[in-house]
Amino acid sequence: MWKDIWFLVIRTLRATFRKRSTMILYFGLPIAGILASLLLYGSQGATELRVGVVNGDDGQTIAADTVQFVQGLDHVKVVNVTQQELQDQLAASDLDSGLIIESGYSESVRSGSPDHIAIQSVKGAQVTAYMKSMLYGYIDNVAAMGRISAGNDAKFQQLYDRYRSADFKVTSESVNDTSTTKEMSYQSIGFLLMFMMTSAVSLSELILKNRENRTYFRVLSSPINARTYVMANILMNLIVMLAQIVIVLFFMRVVFRIDPGMPVAQMFGILLLFSLVSVSISLVIVAFSKSTAMAGALSNLIVTPTCLLSGCFFPISIMPDAIRRVSDFLPQNWVLQSIEKLQSGEGFAGVWFNLSILFAFAVVFFLIATYKFGRNNDTRNFV
C-alpha cells in the first residue's frame, strides 16, 4: 500500500507544481506574509519628534537654555517658528508638537513659579508626554533654584551657572527591545497559518477536481482503493505544508533576520501540528462539498473569517472580550497563544495544554471527514 501511496504522491506533486504560478501560490505568498509583517512592524522603530518653538522671551538666558535643552533631547528635532507658522504646520502635520515660550517665562522660573510656557499638539498625549516629562523636570530644577535664592539675583545666577556647568557622570546601559521582532514573527506566523489552511483546502480539492474530471473513478477501478487514494492526498498535503513551514522559517530567520523570540525548533513543532489540523479541516470541507466551486465557497467562508477572529492578521489583544472567547474555539488561536507563551519565556512544558487542544482538533476533524467520506457514494456517474 505504501508503494502505491508514494507513487500517487510523487505523480500528483509533479503534476501540481509543474506550473510556476502554483509555486508562487504555495510558497511565494507565505514569504509575502513575512514581508507584510516587516512593513507593518518595521516602521515602529524610534521616530523623530518634530517640535516647533516660538520663543517670545527672546534675549533671556533661561528661555534660550530651555530651547537648547529641548534641542538636546533624544529623537527631537527643533524648528524655530512664529506663532502663525506653528498653527499652520501643526494643522498640516508638518510638526508633531509646539513649544510656546511667552514673554515673562524666564522671570517666572527665576521667581520659583514657572509660567508663560505651553506645549501644543494635535496628536495628543502620545506625542507630548515624553517632551513634557523631560521639560518639566528641567524647569522644576531651575524654578527650585529660584525659590532657594528667594529673589537674590546674584545667588540665583551662581546656582544656575553651577547647574549649567555641572559635570554629571552618566552611566548608560542599552537594553535590546525585542518586542518588535517578536510581533513581526508572530504576525508572519499568523499569515502562514492562513496560507497553510488555504493550501490544504486547495490540495484536498484535487479529490473533488478528479471526481469532476472522472479520473478519480478510473483510479478507483485500479488496484488503488479509496483509502489509499485519500491517504496519498493527505501525505502530499503534509509534504507541501512541511515545505511551506521550512521555507517561511528559513526566510524569517536567515533572509530577513527576524528573531522570533523563541527556539525555531519549537515553532516548527507547533506549526507541524497545525498542518495536521489544516489537512483535517480541508478534508471536512471536501467531504461536505459536491464540487470544487462549493469547496471554494466553503473555504472562503471558513478560512479567512476564522483567521481574522484568531488574530492571524492583527493581535487578538485589540479585540473585544466576546470575540476573544469565540477564538478559543479556533485552532489558529491556540497556535498563536502557544507562540506568545513561548515568546514570553515559558518553556515547552507550558504549552502542552495548547498542543493537546490542537491535536484534539485534528482528531475530531479527521473523524468527521472519515465519517462523511464513508457515506458519500458518487460512483454511479462513472460509466
Residue 215 interacts with other proteins (CB under 8 A): yes or no: yes
* Piece in contact with other proteins (CB under 8 A), picked from 4-12, 28-36, 142-150, 344-352: 4-12
CA distance 333 to 55: 54
Per-position x/- string for 17-46, each x denoting binding to other proteins as judged by CB under 8 A, each - no binding: -x----------------------------
Positions in 218-277 near other proteins (CB under 8 A): 218-225
Q: Report, in Å, the least distance between residue 200 CB and other proteins.
A: 21
Per-position x/- string for 158-197, each x denoting binding to other proteins as judged by CB under 8 A, each - no binding: ----------------------------------------
Q: Report, in Å, the least distance between residue 13 CB and other proteins.
A: 12
Q: Report, in Å, the least distance between residue 198 CB and other proteins.
A: 20
149 to 59, 64, 90, 160, 163: CA distances (angstroms): 22, 21, 38, 10, 14
- Rank residues 164 and 214 by Cβ distance to other proteins and give the closer one: 214
CB atoms within 10 A of CB 233: 24
Which grid cell is 133? Answer: 516629562
Residue 71 interacts with other proteins (CB under 8 A): yes or no: no
- List all residues 6 or more positions away from 7 whose beta carbon is below 8 Å from its beta carbon: none
Residue 7 interacts with other proteins (CB under 8 A): yes or no: yes
Residue 376 interacts with other proteins (CB under 8 A): yes or no: no
- Rank residues 142 and 203 by Cβ distance to other proteins and give the closer one: 203
Among 213, 291, 344, 356, binds other proteins (CB under 8 A): 213
- Rank residues 11 and 162 by Cβ distance to other proteins and give the closer one: 11
Q: If binding means CB under 8 A, how many residues of this protein chain bind other proteins?
A: 25
Burial class (CB in 10 A: 0-12, 13-18, 19+), 253: middle
CB atoms within 10 A of CB 132: 14
* Piece in contact with other proteins (CB under 8 A), picked from 250-258, 280-288, 353-361, 372-380: 372-380
Q: Report, in Å, the least distance between residue 252 CB and other proteins.
A: 33
**Cα angle for residues 244, 250, 251 (degrees, 5° grid):** 90
Interface ranges with other proteins (CB under 8 A): 3-4, 7-8, 11, 15, 18, 213-215, 217-225, 377, 379-383
